[in-house]
A and B are shown apart, each in its own frame.
Chain A
């Protein structure tokens, strides 16, 4: 079975500061890992995904994440926060088979302080 744990339901950073959203996973098989962003009353937008290729994954809007097997982590980072980054972020995991279900973490609300 797969699961993800997102540390911190709320994270606040100043505009221009580093964004770090933490995600740890548990998986009995090599996982595929994802980060999604959700704006209020909207669907999900994929930021990036890890599918067993390069461990450092670059996504959209300047976000990136590094897969660390030894730490079972897949933390999301962005060097400089923008006001438009304020949203809910979800880490997710699947078992890697094409039709396998994707399991979400509880989400982290990112607040950007002016």
Chain B
């Protein structure tokens, strides 16, 4: 089936630095990628939707200058958390619509970001 590979699985960074998270579709072309954030013991909140070759669409309340999304190819979408602060510590997950036989979504395995 369709696989989205997400890296890194965890990262620790210092306040003020930037962190890049990558999501690659391994055996299909992901024209759309959804980025979610999940705080401990909470649900997944949609941050933004990226589309290959165009600007991402951000959900209300999400700072587009802080969470930079790039979807430069049909198999790679990246999320860069710029000038990270401790409150950005969270679990970030990407998801792409499954282009296989059934309708669904394929999720990456998630990235645990800890900002110290």
Contacts and interface: CB of A to CB of B under 8 A. Distances in A.
Interface of A: 32, 34, 41-44, 46, 49, 51, 90, 98-99, 101-107, 109
Most interface-central of B46, B95, B102, B104 (chain A CB within 10 A): B104
Interface stretch (B14-22, B77-85, B106-114): B106-114
Q: Is the interface of A mostly helix, strand, loop or mixed?
A: loop
Most interface-central of A32, A44, A105, A107 (chain B CB within 10 A): A44
Nearest to B111: A43
A102 B34 contact: yes
A101 B49 contact: yes
Contacts of B91: 41
Contacts, number: 49
A90 B44 contact: yes
Interface string B43-69: 111100100000000000000000000
Interface residues of B, number: 25
B104 A46 contact: yes
Most interface-central of B41, B93, B107 (chain A CB within 10 A): B107
B31 interface: yes
Nearest to B32: A99
B105 interface: yes
Given A42-B110, A43-B109, A106 B97 contact: no
B109 A103 contact: no
A32 B91 CA distance: 25
Contacts of A98: 97, 103
A109 to B, nearest CB: 8
